A = this chain, B = another copy of it.
Amino acid sequence: MSDEASLLAANAAYYRAFIEGDIDRMSALWGEDDVACIHPGWPALIGREAVLASYRDILRNPMQEPIVRRNERALVSGADGRVLCVEVVGGAALVATNWFRFTGGAWRLVHHQASPLAVVPAETPPERPRSLH
């Protein structure tokens, strides 16, 4: 897989773990060091322990709306890979940054921030990694 394709696969795994409420998978996706997370409306959480505690609460919450990702854009720069995408949650749209670092043979999350969009954007076709033509 190209860097972009593997990065997009890691991003898909993040949303699958979210949708399935799989905290073990979510934990494995997050890096060990230098991690930070900003959920919509929340202050910044810094450090693996605080970040995973927040996901434990969110994934256990029975009122949590399902989340659908779309309009993914991948930006790879060396061992750093960002995916910018739209999250549709309960009729509202957010724009998310999922920042991964390639370490130990896998893309691990080091940063997530999601913020509300003023306008729900049109859906765009899935991005085709450039190296696949």
Contact = CB atoms under 8 A, between A and B. Distances in A.
Copy number in the complex reads 2
A104 to B, nearest CB: 15
A51 to B, nearest CB: 12
Nearest to A41: B118
Contacts of A73: 44, 46
Interface stretch (A17-25, A52-60, A62-70, A109-117): A109-117
Please classify how large the interface on chain A is, using the bins under 10, 10 to 19, 20 to 34, 35 or more: 20 to 34
Q: Is the interface of A mostly helix, strand, loop or mixed?
A: strand
Contact of A41 (B41, B43, B46, B117): B117
Considering residues A33, A84, A114, which has the most beta carbons from chain B within 10 angstroms of its beta carbon?
Answer: A84
Given A46-B84, A82-B36, A41 B77 contact: no
A1 to B, nearest CB: 20
25 contacts: A34-B75, A34-B77, A34-B82, A36-B84, A36-B97, A38-B113, A42-B95, A42-B117, A42-B118, A43-B95, A43-B117, A44-B73, A44-B84, A77-B101, A77-B110, A80-B80, A97-B97, A97-B113, A99-B99, A99-B111, A113-B113, A113-B115, A114-B115, A115-B116, A116-B116
